[in-house]
Amino acid sequence: MKYLLPLLRGLLFAVLPFLVYFALQHFQPREVAAALLALILLRAPGKVLDFLRRLGARAILPMLAVPALAALLWHSNDPVWVLSYPVFMNALMFSLFAASLLHPPSAIERLARLRHPDLPPEGVTYTRRVTQVWCGFFVVNGSIAAWTAFAATREIWVLYNGLISYLLMGALFAGEWLYRRRHRGFQ
């Protein structure tokens, strides 16, 4: 039962582009934006606050960006800003991963050390490189998401942001995992 709520939250976020697509056909963009913000805050408020606390001063920009974006969405009532939420998510992920490269340990090293506290030096180098690859992914994925929000049809937007981007993310994750198992001595 303790896994049911996180599983439902994960499924909700996986289908979020489809929900946004359909909601924009029936509601004002500002109403959809308010629902999106509520979902993001409900996802895991304790974890979000804990994460921001651990970031310290680096959390100021994301903390200021959310209310500013919410005000922009509410005021403009333009659907393009609602459709841009994947762009903002990619920008946030990029900034967190890039910040971890500037202030080690890298994001992937932190994850690796959960399973391998004694990560060897070559593991640290490898996880840094993987963090860089994810940064590149977030830039490319966010750029394509921006194109779908500003220049493509909503059908292309939902296809890319609701399916293709998840497939690409899964392929990168699986490819790195397979590479690591085959060519590296740690998992």
Residue showing tokens 């841009």: 84
The mean pLDDT values, 10 residues at a time, for the chain of 187 residues are 75 85 93 80 62 60 67 82 90 91 94 92 95 98 98 97 97 95 70
Are the C-beta atoms of residues 123 and 104 closer than 8 Å to each other?
no
φ/ψ (deg, to 5) at 151: -125, -15
Residue 89: which residues within 8 A CB-CB, separation 6 or more?
Answer: none
